[in-house]
Amino acid sequence: MPAIEVQRQTLPILGNPNQGARFYNPDLPASEPFVPGHRTCAGCGPSIQYRMTSKASGDNTILVGPTGCMYVANSSYLCTPYNVPWAHTQIGSAGSFTAGVAAAYEAMIRKGKYKGTFPNVICEAGDGSASDIGLASISGALYRNHDCLIICYDNEQYANTGIQASSRTPYGGMTTFSPPGPKVPEAKTLYPKDLARMMAAGHPHCYVATASVGYPIDLMNKVRKGLNHKGAAYLMIYTPCQKGFVYETPRSIDLGRLVVECGLYPMWEWNPEKREYDYSFRPQTMRPVAEYLKLQGRFGHLHAEHIANLQKFANQQWQMMGVQLPEALIKSADPKNQVNMAASAEAEAVAQTL
Amino acid sequence: MSTKGTRIPEWLTVPFAGITPAPTQEKGQDLFPTGNWRSIRPVYRDKLPPCNNACGTNEKIQGYLDLVKRGKYLDAYALIKEDMPFPSVTGRVCYHPCETACNRGQYDEAISIRAVERFLGDLGQALQRDVVKPGKPNGKKVAVVGSGPAGHSAAYQLARLGYKVTILEKSPKAGGLNRGGIPDWVLPQDVLDREIERLIELGIAIKTNTEVGKDVSWDSLKKDYDAVVLAVGLTEPNSVRAEGENKQGVIYGLPFLRDIGMGTSKVKLGARVAVIGGGNTAIDCAREALRQGAVEVTMITVEGNPKEMPCVPEDLHDMLEEGVELIHGKAVTAVLGNGRVEALELHPAKFSGAINASPITINKDVAAEKFAVDNVIIAVGQHASLAWLPAEFKTERGSIKIDRFGRLGDTNFFAAGDIVQLGSGQPLMVVNAVGDGKRVAFNLDKALRGEALEPRKIAIDVIVDLNRMNMTYFPHFPRVKQDMLNPTSRKKTQDEVILAFTEEQAVEEAGRCFSCGTCNACDNCYLVCPEPCIARSDRSNGLYKILVDYCKGCRVCIEECPTGCLEGVPELDFDAGVVRMDTAFAISPGLHGRQAQELANLASRPAKEL
């Protein structure tokens, strides 16, 4: 029996209204694979990301949801907000399950058992699954180059179990596993795992990119580029968590922009054809990290030297992207030019009593 | 717990027996109406943009800029025509209070609204047939006295309401101040002629050479028409009360411009001309004098510096560019010469109170200064000629006495424009007269139909605070400049000084509009909602709907709304038409609520049914 050729979807790239247009007016698709009524917190960042991703990919999509917020909060009573096929899988087997779905569709189409175009297979893993528990299986799926998109929605902690530290939790971030105290005043001493770069370096044949909910059209375009890429693609998307970051719910999108403007979340794409990084994304402004940190309760305990350390880290990220550092940011990396967070004294007092 | 042997009523099987309803795009997850988490509800509430508010006739400026940037020029033209009968005229002559009020001025540079208006006006001029149609005839006759901006506007609005309108104009050509007070190099005659033609196309009769008080009497107006709008304007020039002002060579500003505009001018100017006054007419006279052959033009003002002059700063700049000299802080006390003006006597002077609204104090202790000139043009304001008006309707200021609706007592006479605005604190500008004419026309219509009249509208909520909008969505862009003729060549000709926008320039400039406080369907709320509970049926202005059954009140949409038209309203403020669950405020109880209702009704059901 002759093999049937697999028909793949090509999604158009949206015009980016933030670059060059005089007024904000994106042209969005109409389909809505993600519907309201889910039980995530008000202003949930991962939920915004899920919505934008599924809107970009359209109705011919299969979603894979390893254990995480977007599984636990969204599928209670077996009732989910997904209007497209969605399957839960174990937190450790995100990559292998997704690879299986993609491989199965390829085989079924080839053998004529499934009529229709190849669906967009998207795995929505949290940073716990993507950077810690399911790292091996995701790496395997990327390495074997199955035609799928694996997304790490990065809320920088294990949120659905009550805010525990993951390897993506930033330096200084308070979680229940990394509380600040007299011995460790900065709460978390380790810097976050550079997960996206690890995936780009380790699987150079894959499309890899970072994105943020603060730049919705850019995010949707990267999802479409990843889906259009024949083979595996990997996206790491910054998604603020209102409960874990401790901020006011309206600031979800704002934080997504601030984290990029502060240099703590460099936005780039890995071009698998040229085998090089594309660092051309530039936010409208550059800001000192304190502007991002001060909006969040999880950084409320930081002292001047910790903020300076984070600024140093951000400056390294800017330099890596080839950005000329303004004098003000170099100065901010010196603890002498920083002040303690407003709540740091109270945080210390509380810690002493324990 | 086993349910073995238990008969489960049908309405309870749905959620508990493991069969959950599938979500749909239309209904969402019916089982979980998360709207009951909400304490603040986002609502769309359009506010008044500052430009619409500042405009003398409240043009829907944000609206037509939005249409222009989407390429719907004809719709934009139709929108502007609701409030403004001649955008091609105001697009050239307006002092653009809208641009002064524009919020973009606080951010980078104000939008060039007047240039876009002119683009639309010229588009309308080129149309074979105008978009505006006369209203269904209602059999009533109205006379409009005067065809200047206020009369033109009132007649236009009344014709649209179905009245049979007759305009009475004392000059040989219609147009009033638009023709007689504005030079050709600002407003070419053929543009105005075309706008007058549009009035005739609306079925309006224009009787020229007909002066009220001479050709038509007050009583015949009263007898022949159901109602009358008096928009006679200020026609008589003020004098400076200087000695020898009646000498030959002394010209008054408005008649000077009017005669040139009507084509009946016999004035020959000498080489040295002095213009007395610091307002817009004075500036126009000074620039016109250059074009009439004067070589040295000097403007003499009482105001101490250029900033105090009651004029449009751009026009002052253009005048100085053309080489007119300024003398500040001086008043003319005498015109010297033997039968013909040879020189002026100047004394230091200043306003005793507010600029342009108080008597002038002249310092006679200082020796008089002599200023040699060949001609003097005096342009220090106008007053009305109201000999024909019954005394009971005159004010001490020399204007017409009206109530706050624009009506003369309880007659069917209404008055509009400069003749009522004089001394009222309102600017005496074309656009303000147009607005006054419009409002009076609407009140006249209401009066004839026996409805309650409306006073001048007061703005409710004008959005002037940029913090109420989200500036992240607006990159900085410079204002698109209108091209101009070169000052050295233009000052000898009657060619239009400021050039029109091209289509690309107009779209580019309209694209800079913030759309302050008014939804322009940017889709941002729709895109950033985490639920997503903002539905979009059709993508045009204001057709978003918030599904309150699901909205958790996170307020991301409010924070991210670029225009600031979304607002948070405490849920407790909604008390009408809201069905609440006991615990919270969902607009409808959802499946859980319906089930609770069924359970509550259980006790009252007959046992047999169970």
pLDDT tens for each residue of B233-242 = 888 888 888 8
- Using alpha carbons, select from A160, A215, A213 the residue that is nearest to residue A38: A160
Contact A26 B527 (CB under 8 A): yes
Dist. CA B595–CA B180, nearest whole Å: 77
Are B36-48+517-573 and B239-382 equal in CATH topology? no
Among chain B residues, the shortest Cα distance to A20 is held by: B475
Contact B32 A78 (CB under 8 A): no
pLDDT for B45 = 79
- Write the DSSP string, A262-297: TTSS---EEETTTTEEE-----S----THHHHTT-G
Residues near B603 by beta carbon (within 8 Å), at least 6 away in sequence: none
CATH of domain B36-48+517-573: 3.30.70.20
Predicted ipTM? 0.91
What kind of fold does domain B141-235+384-448 have according to CATH? FAD/NAD(P)-binding domain (3.50.50)
Domain boundaries, chain A: 45-285
Chain B contact set for A24 (CB, 8 A): 473-474, 522, 524, 562
Residue B8 has pLDDT above 70, yes or no: no
pLDDT for B571 = 76
Dist. CA A213–CA A85, nearest whole Å: 24
Contact A35 B28 (CB under 8 A): yes
Residue of A23, A40, A51 for testing the chain B interface, max B β-carbons within 10 Å: A23
Count CB neighbours of B47 within 10 A: 21
pLDDT digits 0-9 by tens, B535-545 = 877 666 557 78
pLDDT for B572 = 72
Residue B608 has pLDDT above 60, yes or no: no
Nearest-CB residue to B32 (from A39, A48, A251)? A39
Chain B contact set for A75 (CB, 8 A): none
Among chain B residues, the shortest Cα distance to A217 is held by: B527
pLDDT for B601 = 64
Contact A43 B555 (CB under 8 A): yes
Residue of B30, B505, B559 for testing the chain A interface, max A β-carbons within 10 Å: B559
Among chain A residues, the shortest Cα distance to B19 is held by: A78
Residue B113 has pLDDT above 90, yes or no: yes
Range list of H helices, B225-351: 253-262, 280-291, 313-321
Please give, rounded to a whole number of angstroms, the shortest distance from the CA of A5 to a CA of chain B: 32
Among chain A residues, the shortest Cα distance to B550 is held by: A37
The 3-state DSSP class for residue B342 equals coil
pLDDT for B1 = 31
Question: Taking the CA atoms of chain B, what radius of gyration do you get in angstroms?
Answer: 32
CA dihedral A325, A330, A331, A335 (to 10 degrees): 150
The 3-state DSSP class for residue B142 equals strand
Q: By the 8 A CB rule, do B45 and B567 touch?
A: yes
Among chain B residues, the shortest Cα distance to A42 is held by: B554
Window 100-159 of A: residues touching B by CB (8 A cutoff) are: none
Count CB neighbours of B576 within 10 A: 4
CATH 2.40.50.140 correct for B50-131+465-510: no
Among chain B residues, the shortest Cα distance to A44 is held by: B530
How confident is the model over B348-368, as a mean pLDDT? 80
Nearest-CB residue to A48 (from B23, B526, B530)? B530
Window 195-224 of A: residues touching B by CB (8 A cutoff) are: 216
Residue B577 has pLDDT above 60, yes or no: no
Dist. CA A44–CA A255, nearest whole Å: 12
Higher pLDDT residue, A26 or A93?
Answer: A93
Dist. CA A26–CA A10, nearest whole Å: 19
How confident is the model over B518-542, as a mean pLDDT? 80
Q: By the 8 A CB rule, do B223 and B154 touch?
A: no
Residue of B29, B67, B72, B111 for testing the chain A interface, max A β-carbons within 10 Å: B29
Residue A73 has pLDDT above 50, yes or no: yes
Task: Spell B350-378 as b/e; 16+ CB within 10 A means b.
Answer: bbeeeeeeeeeebeeeeeeeebebbbbbb
CATH of domain A45-285: 3.40.50.970
Count CB neighbours of B283 within 10 A: 24
Dist. CA B162–CA B368, nearest whole Å: 61
pLDDT digits 0-9 by tens, A26-46 = 677 788 889 998 889 999 999
Chain A contact set for B508 (CB, 8 A): 22
B82, B84, B256, B536 from B59: Cα distances, Å: 8, 7, 32, 28
Chain A contact set for B25 (CB, 8 A): 31-32, 35, 83
Instruction: Identify the band that residue A353 occupies on the pLDDT scale cut at 50, 70 and 90.
Output: low
Please give, rounded to a whole number of angstroms, the shortest distance from the CA of A253 to a CA of chain B: 7
Contact A42 B473 (CB under 8 A): no
Domain boundaries, chain B: 36-48+517-573, 50-131+465-510, 141-235+384-448, 239-382
A51 and B CB contact within 8 Å:
yes
Range list of H helices, chain A: 45-57, 69-72, 94-110, 127, 135-143, 195-202, 216-228, 242-245, 252-261, 290-293, 304-320, 327-332, 344-353
Among chain B residues, the shortest Cα distance to A31 is held by: B25
B33: Cα within 13 Å, side-chain hemisphere: 21
Higher pLDDT residue, A27 or A7?
Answer: A7
How confident is the model over A308-332, as a mean pLDDT? 94
Q: How many CB pairs below 8 Å do chains A and B form together?
A: 139
Q: What is the DSSP letter of B243?
A: B
Dist. CA A109–CA B523, nearest whole Å: 37
Dist. CA A255–CA A257, nearest whole Å: 5
pLDDT for A354 = 44
How confident is the model over A219-234, as a mean pLDDT? 95
A247, A264, A342, B553, B585 from B335: Cα distances, Å: 76, 76, 75, 75, 81
Question: Taking the CA atoms of chain A, what radius of gyration do you get in angstroms?
Answer: 21
How confident is the model over B108-130, as a mean pLDDT? 93
Contact B28 A51 (CB under 8 A): no
Contact A22 B508 (CB under 8 A): yes
Residue B573 has pLDDT above 50, yes or no: yes
Please give, rounded to a whole number of angstroms, the shortest distance from the CA of A268 to a CA of chain B: 21
Chain A contact set for B515 (CB, 8 A): 23
Nearest-CB residue to B556 (from A22, A43, A83)? A43
Percent residues over pLDDT 90 in chain B? 37
> What is the residue-averaged pLDDT of chain B?
84
How confident is the model over A233-243, as a mean pLDDT? 95
Chain B contact set for A47 (CB, 8 A): 530-531
pLDDT digits 0-9 by tens, B429-481 = 899 999 999 999 999 999 999 888 877 655 567 887 888 899 888 888 889 99
Instruction: Identify the band that residue B214 occupies on the pLDDT scale cut at 50, 70 and 90.
Output: confident
Contact B556 A35 (CB under 8 A): no
B193: Cα within 13 Å, side-chain hemisphere: 7
The residues that bridge with B413 in the sheet, in sequence order, are B228
Q: By the 8 A CB rule, do A307 and A290 touch?
A: yes
Task: Spell A108-130 as b/e; 16+ CB within 10 A means b.
Answer: bbeeeebeeebbbbbbbbbbbbb
Dist. CA A292–CA A300, nearest whole Å: 11
pLDDT for A188 = 94
Residue A336 has pLDDT above 70, yes or no: yes
Contact A250 B555 (CB under 8 A): yes
Chain A contact set for B473 (CB, 8 A): 18, 24
Q: Which amino acid is at B474?
A: F
Task: Spell B242-281 as b/e; 16+ CB within 10 A means b.
Answer: beebebebbbbbbbbbbebbeeeeeeebbebbbbbbbbbb
Q: By the 8 A CB rule, do B270 and B165 touch?
A: no
pLDDT for B579 = 40
> What is the residue-averaged pLDDT of chain A?
91
Contact B29 A35 (CB under 8 A): yes
Dist. CA A267–CA B107, nearest whole Å: 28
Q: By the 8 A CB rule, do B574 and B41 touch?
A: yes
Nearest-CB residue to B553 (from A26, A42, A78)? A42
pLDDT for B230 = 94
CATH architecture type of domain B239-382: 3-Layer(bba) Sandwich (3.50)
